[in-house]
Structure 1
Amino acid sequence: MNRRPQLAVLGWIVVAGLTTVISTWAISLLGQGLSERVVSPVSRADVARALATATAAPRPAATPGGTPAARGRAFTADGGSIVAACDGGRAVLLSWSPAQGYAVDDVNAGPAAAASLEFESDTRTVKVSVACQGDVPKTTVSQEREHD
Structure 2
Amino acid sequence: MRRRTGFAVAGWLLAALAATGTGLAAVQVIGAGLTGPAGEVRSPDEVARALAATPAPSGPTSTPSSGRPASPGAITGRPVTGSPDPGGGSAHGPRQLLSIPGGTVVAECDGRVVWLASWTPAQGYRVGEVERGPDDDAEVTFHGSGERIEVEVECVAGRPVPTWKKSKA
1:79 aligns with 2:79: no
Does the CA-based 8 Å contact 2:83-2:90 persist in structure 1? Answer: no
Question: CA, structure 1 residues 28+58, in 2 after alignment: closer, same or farther (shift >3 Å)?
Answer: same
Per-residue CA deviation, residues 7-66 of structure 1 (Å, 9 max, x unaligned), is xxxxxxxxxxxxxxxx9665314152123356xxxxxxxxxxx84xx113433457xxx7
Alignment of 1:1-148 (within 5 A): 27-37=27-37, 51=77, 54-61=78-85, 68-146=91-169
Over the aligned positions, Cα root-mean-square deviation in angstroms equals: 2.9
Relative to the length of structure 1, the TM-score reads 0.62
Question: CA, structure 1 residues 31+145, in 2 after alignment: closer, same or farther (shift >3 Å)?
Answer: farther
Question: CA, structure 1 residues 121+26, in 2 after alignment: closer, same or farther (shift >3 Å)?
Answer: closer
Does the CA-based 8 Å contact 1:105-1:120 persist in structure 2? Answer: yes
Question: CA, structure 1 residues 127+36, in 2 after alignment: closer, same or farther (shift >3 Å)?
Answer: farther
Query: Which structure 2 segments of 5+ residues have no match?
Result: 1-22, 39-75
Does the CA-based 8 Å contact 1:60-1:69 persist in structure 2? Answer: no
Relative to the length of structure 2, the TM-score reads 0.55
Per-residue CA deviation, residues 74-113 of structure 1 (Å, 9 max, x unaligned), is 1111200011110232011111111011111111111111
* Alpha-carbon distance in structure 2 between the residues aligned to 1:57 and 1:144: 34
Rg comparison, structure with higher value: 1
